[in-house]
Amino acid sequence: MIRFGETVGNYRVVAKLGEGAMGVVFLAEHPIIGRKAALKVIHPEHARNPEVVARFVTEATAINRVGHPHIVEVTDFGTTPGGDFYFAMEYLEGVALSDVIAKEAPLAPARALTIAAQIADALGASHAHGVIHRDLKPDNVFLVPRGDDPAFVKVLDFGLAKLVSHDVARRFDTRTGVVLGTPYYMSPEQCEGSKEIDHRADVYSLGVVLFEMLTGRLPFGGAGYGEVLMQHLVRRPPSIRSVVPELPEHIDAILQRALAKAPGERFATMEQFREALLQPAAAPAPPSPPRAAPADDGLDRVPRSRAPRAVAFLTVAALAGGAFATGLVHAGSVRRSLALAPRLLAATRPAVAQAQVPPAPSTVSLTFGSEPPGATILAPDGTALGETPLAIHVPRSDRAGHYRFEKPGFAPKEMESIPNVSSSMFVRLEPAEPPERDEAEASAARRRAKASARLQRSLDADSVLAPTFDR
């Protein structure tokens, strides 16, 4: 693993900026010109996972291909002599949009629309280069001072990006039926695990981010991930004026269009979305909602052809629990849960009719895993939480905490987590080296062993009697 003071590429590592389930971000500095960089490195235990490495390469490739002012710049990429995969990004001094929302929301409409327009500008450029972000959320948007603008947008973390141009799609293809993203900001087609996901999924996610900036709340929430995903699929987005009545109707119209369930009813491009954000009063009205289905089936917001798959998938989602902490669940086992669909539908009907906007979650899920399993997890205060595999809920916070993995016979490991979103932590434990004995003690032990061996040989010689013969 990379250590402080080590030189990586053209940079010297000086500090750690943050750590997640898949990797660590270090602060690095050019030793001659003093330029700072953020160095992103895969955890060693994941470096042999082809899928994780492929996403890491995807992120570096995606960012480099676009080269837009509102997207963080990648300056270097490679592997260290020790086998660590890394890429260097421009070092940003500013604040995450999630922190701004937590402290200041609801934001003034002009400020929120300006930030959203810059995000749309960045994503419009990435879409033009065949790159779909697929994990847009406030944590992945950074605001930095730039000239006279105190909130210049930088979009980060293209780790789940989909490269749709034919020359790279074959190398970084996502398996059919895999759900990727952060549930509170995912489009309905992502919630289904559909492979037919295009740039309009980012339009939907930006609509959720804008809703949260303007209200401080999420349009779709719930007690668990299954409930959140079901609401994305079946519940019409609430009016923003039901939360902040003084907001103008044209902003509500923009959000209703961006958050439409069917991709064809959203803004066709990010450029259209951006124009609407910059001139909200001139934005066209959203298309009329589809005709409601009969009230007794509980899915009046979802086309009938999609309902069975959506219900079955969310049944699995509700049972999977902590699996969504990683943002990845395979839908291949969905068909095995169809028998539970009627009960799930009955449970979700009240949520479909619910008019109020659920608050942002007060807790997040942390999932711990280890190889081998059975490691004890110690909380930052030293309290034992349980043994791996383990899933717990903790209060949502922006303060980092260190969790320790301990198992007899293995060297302990620590990981850092910032519990502002659900995440997972996995470590590969290495056998503990035997304790080194003092050299003098070891020498004395060797002398005692030799003396004992000599004594035994002497006793054996003395105890042998000469044979007697009958005469």
- Where in the sequence numbering do the catalytic residues fall? 135
Token pair recorded at residue 229: 């995903």
Query: To which residue do tokens 């999630």 refer?
Result: 98
CA dihedral 129, 135, 139, 141 (to 10 degrees): 20
DSSP letter at 456 equals: H
DSSP letter at 195 equals: S
Instruction: Give strand pairing partners of 221.
Output: none
* Distance from C-alpha of 379 to C-alpha of 87, rounded to nearest angstrom: 31
* Distance from C-alpha of 320 to C-alpha of 328, rounded to nearest angstrom: 11
Query: Of the candidates 38, 3, 1, which has an alpha carbon nearest to the alpha carbon of residue 17?
Result: 38
Query: Of the candidates 179, 190, 53, 72, which has an alpha carbon nearest to the alpha carbon of residue 125?
Result: 72
Enumerate residues 6+ apart whose C-beta is below 8 A from 202.
123, 127, 132, 133, 134, 136, 270
**Contacts of 381-385 spanning 24+ positions with Cβ under 8 A:** none
